Chains A and B, each alone.
Chain A
Amino acid sequence: MREESMLSAEVPAGRPQGDPFLWIIPLLLAIFGILMIFSLTSHTSLEEYGSPFTLGMKQVHWLLVGIAGMLVMYMIPLSFWKKASGTIWLFSLVLLVLTLIPGIGIKAGGARRWIGFAGLRFQPIEFLNLALAVHLSRLLTTSEKRGLSAFLTITVPVLFLSVIPLLFQPNMGGTILIFTLSMAIHVQSRGWSWPFIAGAAGFPFFFMFIIREGYRLRRYIAFLDPWEQPMDSGFQVIQGLVAFSNGGLFGVGVGKGLQKLNYLPAAHTDYIFATVGEEFGFIGTFFILFFFLLWTIRACSAYKKAEGFRATLIWALTVSVLIPLFINLGGVLKLMPLTGIPLPFISYGGSSLLFMWAKIGLLLRVCREASLP
């Protein structure tokens, strides 16, 4: 795809450019997400804010901010990231630590995952996700180290430092996300062996992590058998399944879903995929998955044209979108325990949307530079 992009003014004529599908597909998903949010929140928005459109309009604003973020990222040359990735990564860690400090960090639902400034709330994990992807990609591609030494001196320290504040938040979903992302980048750069072993070793650790906290254990038990306590710990899991079941093949119709009537907690955020399943049926969920798959295929083909740092970065950015997708859908579809990770591009929430678009902007920039001589 070498057609005129919206950023043509930035790029000298005749030069190869990024694949427009890489941003068109997320844009379609985000627009669909906004329509869903309007439908899902009209009821609660009306009661809480006096207008049925409040949450939907907020998401529209966040989408515009996100697209602006994408443009900014697209304009920044890769050489900047090569120089500054470490600083940015450390900065993201500082923000993450700030969530733990009372007064700056905002506690919600038993965990400190937010920081607030100027009336805005922000999840630094989203920032870390991007910063770590860039930084680890750079470290691994610039280092000559191989095998265990590369693993132990590059990947593990970056991962370890990133995960510590998350463990204090606490944020199991975020921990899994960062762990998986680090391993995925290492795999692309140095092969499967050590991440595979680390994964196997990390499992008991992960299990301990679950058992330590009551709510996490409940979630885990709810995952194993939600019918044990269908009105209590199993409620959300079951209601998610009910939403899919209600939807069937064609769905119950736009706005006619019943699960959003407070049956399905987080219907417009973490569980938005289930409500799509209810209102649009398998047709709807199939197309969402299909769009993500299509986007992945485009990213994969861009990856194949790139080399070195650029290839690793394309891979890292792609999986930094896909891992939240898999963790979210895995939880909603009861393939794994629930975690509080939103569905990329679609779920309601500003931080996620902004940084997802930032990744798209960087991805487009890498693709553009990758096709340069």
Chain B
Amino acid sequence: MLLKRFGGSPWFLVFLFFAVLFWRVASLQLFPDPRVEKQSRRQYWSRVPVSTNRGSILDANGNALALSIPSSSFFLDPAFWDPSNGPKLRNILPDSIVATISSAMPGRFFWLARKVDEETAAKIRTLNLKGIYEISEKKRLYPNRSLLSHVLGFCDVDDRGLSGIEMVWDKVLFSPPGIKILAKESSGRTLDISRHSDEGIPAGPGSVRLTIDSRIQFIVEKRLDEGIAEHGAKWGSIVCMDPETGAIVAMASWPSFDPNVRENLTNMKRIANNSTGRTYEPGSTFKPIVLGIAIEKGSVRGSESFNCPYRIKVADGHISEASNRSYGRLSVSEILIKSSNTGMAQIGLRVKPFDMYHGVREWGFSKPLEVELNGVEDGLLATPEQWRGVVPSNISIGQGLAVTPLHLANAMAAIANGGFLLRPFIVSEVKDSTGRIIYKGERKLVREVLSPKTASWLSSIMKESVKSGTGKMARLPYVSIAGKTGTAQVAEKGEYKKGKWVSSFAGFWPEENPDYVMLVVIGEPSKGKYYGGDVAAPVFRRIVEDMFQTGLFACIGWGG
């Protein structure tokens, strides 16, 4: 009838069916129902992002300081999970998780434990509970535990850098999570088909090589720990640099932490890097810089001498000697060697406040450092308009301004290297995933802050300070050390607190041609001794000794 007239033969209907099938299959494949796509995304746990190979952080000699290793993670599929099995995991997993999984749970995916150690993994495995599945992912490992932990920083459980080098260089180190296509059968078992998904991961992330020498770092941390323990101090920091380039070879901060232990990472006191993130009043270690400024501005000549009583009155306040005695007449160099406060105050007063302010800033203080780390403080220095009364003389003796240990160590490097203020750097080389170098840390001159003559003059005074002055405790027979002690009072709410001190020692060696410049800061020692020369200088000396014994610098004979 109608169809016969229309198609002419029954074949027409057959071809019509084919047309419908072509249309239908095209629409199902190319324009699927969103509900179908949603189902597809849900049912294989397909979007389980697992950590892949995060890039390594290496020290100057190529030793790995942070690397990724395979580890086991466990997850739970509530659809196959019997909550009455929950208590079996007690003592293996945290109580909060055991509580969660012991009652009915919604959804299809729940992280039970990520990146667990092999022992825990074995325990969970042997229980062989239905609904619990294991997958392998990469875990961040810091093989030297707390070594350099403040600089290295750490990552969150998804391997995103949260602090330190891990955060600053996350772009290079981070490797996008592998989307594990985890296949579940209707029987509830998993099938490892992740081989396929692994292939899709790009060539792997880049790497960051630091200027840190982990041998020196090890020595520095060990001696800092000892010094802190010996003096019952509250905090500490050591920065060691190569004065010729500005490369940081060691940077330690106390209290420290082991980034492998996740519970440590919430302790803000521990994870703070005191070398860059903490400011303190430098005290007498700042005096060589003030003297340098005064000489360079022509306010004082090296041949001058000053009468240095026990105490002088400046405007509304007093400056007195830390040693509680009068030194009498001292030459400029003797003022530094004996660390006379009243002498330094007089020298400082010769410099106009505005010149002093700019001089201090020219040395890099109270300014960003541009080092490749996060959370670096600028320090504090009031503008000259606010310098009233005793303030300018306080600054001359390193009080009334706040610096980070790194700022001060960097300024010391300028004295050591003949007057060149350099940009400090801690990253020597960054490679991208293809091995191409995308960043290179290099010597970068900021400013010439001293003439070579003034620099070597200051250096020789600092050498004398160690040989016969306040820094005697840093003296070693086989290497010439130049240095300056510091014993600063700690201000709280505008008042200097009695009995709260920061003891420090800044120096470099061998004095003739320095290989290293180092600052040791011991914050708030509580066991009686507090002079920088008694607390920090011995730590400095022990580090130099250890480094010498390790063969980290050549011996240059010294006649004292």
Q: Which A positions have Cβ atoms within 8 angstroms of B?
A: 43, 184, 187-188, 191-193, 196, 227, 230, 238, 241-242, 244-249, 253, 256, 258, 261-263, 277, 281-282, 285-286, 289, 292-293, 296, 300, 303, 315, 318-319, 322, 326, 329, 333-335
The reply to whether A191 and B4 contact each other, CB–CB distance below 8 Å, is yes
Q: In the complex, which residues of chain A have a beta carbon less than 8 angstroms from the beta carbon of B33?
A: 241, 245
Q: Assuming A300-B11, A303-B11, A333-B21, is B191 touching A261 (CB within 8 A)?
A: yes
CB A46 to nearest CB in B, in angstroms, measures 12
The complex places the Cα of A196 from the Cα of B3 at a distance, in Å, of 10
Q: In the complex, which residues of chain A have a beta carbon less than 8 angstroms from the beta carbon of B186?
A: 262-263
Q: Mark B167-208, 1 if CB is under 8 A from A, else 0.
A: 000000000000001011111000101001000000000000
The reply to whether A289 and B4 contact each other, CB–CB distance below 8 Å, is no
The reply to whether B25 and A293 contact each other, CB–CB distance below 8 Å, is no
Partner among B4, B24, B40 whose Cβ is within 8 Å of the Cβ of A335? B24
The reply to whether A326 and B29 contact each other, CB–CB distance below 8 Å, is no
Q: What are some 20 contacts across the A-B interface (CB < 8 A)?
A: A192-B1, A192-B4, A238-B36, A238-B39, A241-B28, A241-B33, A244-B28, A245-B28, A245-B37, A253-B196, A258-B44, A258-B46, A261-B184, A262-B187, A282-B25, A286-B22, A289-B21, A289-B25, A300-B11, A326-B21
CB A244 to nearest CB in B, in angstroms, measures 4
- Stretch from B12-20, B296-304, B342-350, B440-448 forming part of the interface with A: B12-20
Interface of A is mostly: helix
Q: Assuming A193-B1, A303-B11, is B29 touching A262 (CB within 8 A)?
A: no
Partner among A258, A292, A322, A333 whose Cβ is within 8 Å of the Cβ of B181? A258
Q: Assuming A193-B1, A261-B183, A263-B43, is B32 touching A241 (CB within 8 A)?
A: yes
Q: In the complex, which residues of chain A have a beta carbon less than 8 angstroms from the beta carbon of B193?
A: 256, 258
Q: In the complex, which residues of chain A have a beta carbon less than 8 angstroms from the beta carbon of B191?
A: 43, 261
Q: In the complex, which residues of chain B have a beta carbon less than 8 angstroms from the beta carbon of A281?
A: 29
CB B416 to nearest CB in A, in angstroms, measures 63
CB A25 to nearest CB in B, in angstroms, measures 14
The reply to whether B29 and A247 contact each other, CB–CB distance below 8 Å, is yes
Q: Mark B138-152, 1 if CB is under 8 A from A, else 0.
A: 000000000000000
CB A276 to nearest CB in B, in angstroms, measures 10
CB B498 to nearest CB in A, in angstroms, measures 73
Instruction: Please report the total number of B residues contacting A with Cβ < 8 Å.
Output: 37
Q: In the complex, which residues of chain A have a beta carbon less than 8 angstroms from the beta carbon of B22?
A: 286, 289
Which residues of B (410-432) have their CB < 8 Å from a CB of A? none
CB A52 to nearest CB in B, in angstroms, measures 14
The complex places the Cα of A281 from the Cα of B25 at a distance, in Å, of 10
CB A232 to nearest CB in B, in angstroms, measures 12
The complex places the Cα of A263 from the Cα of B191 at a distance, in Å, of 13
The reply to whether A196 and B18 contact each other, CB–CB distance below 8 Å, is no
The reply to whether B10 and A248 contact each other, CB–CB distance below 8 Å, is no
The complex places the Cα of A319 from the Cα of B12 at a distance, in Å, of 12
Q: In the complex, which residues of chain B have a beta carbon less than 8 angstroms from the beta carbon of A242?
A: 36, 39-40, 43
Q: In the complex, which residues of chain A have a beta carbon less than 8 angstroms from the beta carbon of B20?
A: 335
The complex places the Cα of A282 from the Cα of B30 at a distance, in Å, of 7
- Which residue of A is nearest B183, CB measured? A261
Q: In the complex, which residues of chain A have a beta carbon less than 8 angstroms from the beta carbon of B3?
A: 192, 196
Q: Which B positions have Cβ atoms within 8 angstroms of A?
A: 1, 3-4, 10-11, 14-15, 17-18, 20-22, 24-26, 28-30, 32-33, 35-37, 39-40, 43-44, 46, 181, 183-187, 191, 193, 196
- Which residue of B is nearest A183, CB measured? B10
The complex places the Cα of A253 from the Cα of B199 at a distance, in Å, of 13
The reply to whether B25 and A285 contact each other, CB–CB distance below 8 Å, is yes
Q: Assuming A184-B10, A261-B191, A296-B18, is B25 touching A241 (CB within 8 A)?
A: no
Among B21, B30, B33, the one with the most A-chain Cβ atoms within 10 Å of its Cβ is B21
Partner among A193, A246, A277 whose Cβ is within 8 Å of the Cβ of B25? A277
Q: Assuming A238-B36, A242-B43, A245-B37, is B25 touching A319 (CB within 8 A)?
A: no
The reply to whether A245 and B196 contact each other, CB–CB distance below 8 Å, is no
CB A66 to nearest CB in B, in angstroms, measures 23
The complex places the Cα of A80 from the Cα of B52 at a distance, in Å, of 70
CB A332 to nearest CB in B, in angstroms, measures 9
The reply to whether B14 and A296 contact each other, CB–CB distance below 8 Å, is yes
The complex places the Cα of A319 from the Cα of B184 at a distance, in Å, of 40
- Which residue of B is nearest A284, CB measured? B29
Q: In the complex, which residues of chain B have a beta carbon less than 8 angstroms from the beta carbon of A277?
A: 25, 28-29
The reply to whether B18 and A293 contact each other, CB–CB distance below 8 Å, is yes
The complex places the Cα of A277 from the Cα of B30 at a distance, in Å, of 11
The reply to whether A245 and B185 contact each other, CB–CB distance below 8 Å, is no
CB B425 to nearest CB in A, in angstroms, measures 47
The reply to whether B10 and A262 contact each other, CB–CB distance below 8 Å, is no
Partner among A227, A230, A262, A292 whose Cβ is within 8 Å of the Cβ of B185? A262
Name the 10 nearest CB pairs between A and B, nearest first.
Answer: A245-B32, A282-B29, A244-B28, A262-B186, A262-B185, A241-B36, A245-B36, A242-B40, A333-B24, A285-B25
Q: In the complex, which residues of chain B have a beta carbon less than 8 angstroms from the beta carbon of A292?
A: 18
Name 4 extra pairs, CB < 8 A, besides A238-B39, A245-B29: A184-B10, A261-B184, A289-B25, A296-B15
Q: Assuming A196-B1, A263-B186, is B10 touching A187 (CB within 8 A)?
A: yes
Q: In the complex, which residues of chain B have a beta carbon less than 8 angstroms from the beta carbon of A193?
A: 1
Q: Assuming A184-B10, A241-B33, A256-B196, is B185 touching A261 (CB within 8 A)?
A: yes
The reply to whether B30 and A248 contact each other, CB–CB distance below 8 Å, is yes
- Which residue of B is nearest A274, CB measured? B28
Q: In the complex, which residues of chain A have a beta carbon less than 8 angstroms from the beta carbon of B43?
A: 242, 263
The complex places the Cα of A168 from the Cα of B30 at a distance, in Å, of 41
CB A323 to nearest CB in B, in angstroms, measures 9
The complex places the Cα of A262 from the Cα of B44 at a distance, in Å, of 11
CB B79 to nearest CB in A, in angstroms, measures 9
CB A274 to nearest CB in B, in angstroms, measures 9
Q: Assuming A241-B33, A262-B186, is B25 touching A326 (CB within 8 A)?
A: no
Q: Assuming A241-B28, A242-B43, is B10 touching A188 (CB within 8 A)?
A: yes
Q: In the complex, which residues of chain A have a beta carbon less than 8 angstroms from the beta carbon of B37?
A: 245
Q: In the complex, which residues of chain A have a beta carbon less than 8 angstroms from the beta carbon of B35?
A: 227
- Which residue of B is nearest A247, CB measured? B29
The reply to whether A286 and B14 contact each other, CB–CB distance below 8 Å, is no
The complex places the Cα of A329 from the Cα of B23 at a distance, in Å, of 12
- Which residue of B is nearest A282, CB measured? B29
CB A249 to nearest CB in B, in angstroms, measures 6
CB A48 to nearest CB in B, in angstroms, measures 13
